[in-house]
Structure 1
Amino acid sequence: MPIATVNPATGETLTTFDEFDHKEIDSRLARARWAFLDHRKTTYAYRAERMRRAADLLDAERDSIAATMTTEMGKTLAAARAEAAKCAKAMRWYAEHAEELLADEHPSAADIEDSGGTAAFVRYRPLGPVLAVMPWNFPLWQVVRFAAPALMAGNTALLKHASNVPQTALYLEDLFRRAGFPEGCFQTLLVGSAAIEGILRDPRVVAATLTGSEPAGRSVAAIAGDEIKKTVLELGGSDPFVVMPSADVARAAEVAVTARVQNNGQSCIAAKRFIVHADIFEDFAARFTEGMKALRVGDPMEETTDVGPLASKQGRADLERLVDEAVASGATVLCGGERPRHLRAGWFYEPTVLADVTPEMLIHREETFGPVATLYRVDSLGAAIELANDVPFGLSSNAWTEDQEEQERFIRDVEAGGVYFNGMTASHPAMPFGGIKRSGYGRELAGHGIREFCNVTTVWYGAKPGDGGPAAK
Structure 2
Amino acid sequence: ENIFKTLLIPSLKVKQVIEHPFVKAVTITGSTPAGKSVAAIAGNVLKKSVLELGGSDPYVILEDADLIEAAKACVTSRLINGGQSCIAAKRFIVVEKIFEQFQDLFVEQMKLRKMGNPFDESVVIGPQARIDLRNELHTQVEHSIQQGAELLLGGFIPEGKGAFYPPTVLTNVNENNIVFTEEIFGPVAPLIKARDEDDAIRLANKTVFGLGAAVFTKDLDKGERIAKEKIVAGSCFVNSFVKSDPRLPFGGINHSGYGRELGLFGIREFVNIKTIFMG
Q: TM-score, normalising length from structure 2?
A: 0.97
| Match status 1:390 vs 2:206 | yes
**Mapped partners of 2:115, 2:127: distance in 1:** 8
Residue in structure 2 matched with residue 189 of structure 1 by the alignment: 7
Alignment of structure 1 residues 71-470 onto 2, 5 Å: 182=1, 184-341=2-159, 344-403=160-219, 404-462=221-279
Residues 430/450 of structure 1: CA separation in 2 closer, same or farther (3 Å cut): same
For 1:434 and 1:273, the matched residues in 2 are separated by 19
Change (3 A) 1:354 1:288: same
AA at the equivalent of 2:183: E
Query: Does the CA-based 8 Å contact 1:385-1:410 persist in structure 2?
Result: no
* Offset, 1:340: 3.0
Contact residue 216 and residue 223 of structure 2 kept, 8 A: no
Deviation at 1:411, TM superposition (A): 1.8
> Once the 2 structures are TM-superposed, how far is the Cα of residue 460 of structure 1 from its aligned partner?
2.1
Q: Give deviations 1:74-93, integer Å, cap 9, x for gaps.
A: xxxxxxxxxxxxxxxxxxxx
Take 2:246 and 2:226, find their aligned partners in 1: how far apart are those partners? Answer: 27
Q: What is the distance in 2 between the residues matched to 1:185 and 1:407?
A: 41
**Is there any run of 5+ residues in structure 1 with no aligned partner, and where?**
1-181, 463-473
Shift of 1:270: 0.5
User: Is the partner of 1:330 in helix, strand or coil?
Assistant: coil
Code of the residue aligned with 1:331 in structure 2: it is: A
- Deviation, 1:214, is 0.7
Post-superposition CA distance 1:255-314 (Å, at most 9, x none): 111010011111100011000111111111001001111211000011111110001112
In 1, the alpha carbon distance for the partners of 2:138 and 2:189 equals 13
Tell whether the 8 Å contact from 1:381 to 1:406 is kept in structure 2 after alignment.
no
Give the CA deviation at 1:360. 2.2
Rounded Cα–Cα distance in structure 2 between residues aligned with 1:313 and 1:340: 12
Q: Which has the larger radius of gyration?
A: 1
Give the partner amino acid of 2:32: E
Tell me, in whole angstroms, the C-alpha distance in 2 between the residues paired with 1:294 and 1:451.
Answer: 43
Structure 2, unaligned runs of 5 or more: none
Whole-angstrom distance in 2 between the partners of 1:263 and 1:239: 15
Q: Are the counterparts in 2 of residues 388 and 414 from structure 1 also a CA contact under 8 Å? A: yes
One-letter amino acid matched to 1:457:
K
SS in 2 for 1:391: coil
Amino acid in structure 1 at the alignment position of 2:216: W
TM-score normalised by structure 1 residue count: 0.58
- Larger helix fraction of residues: 1
Given that 1:401 and 1:407 are in contact with CA atoms closer than 8 Å, whether structure 2 keeps it comes out as: no
Deviation at 1:353, TM superposition (A): 0.6
Whole-angstrom distance in 2 between the partners of 1:262 and 1:406: 24
SS at structure 1 position matched to 2:277? strand
- SS state at 1:252 partner: helix
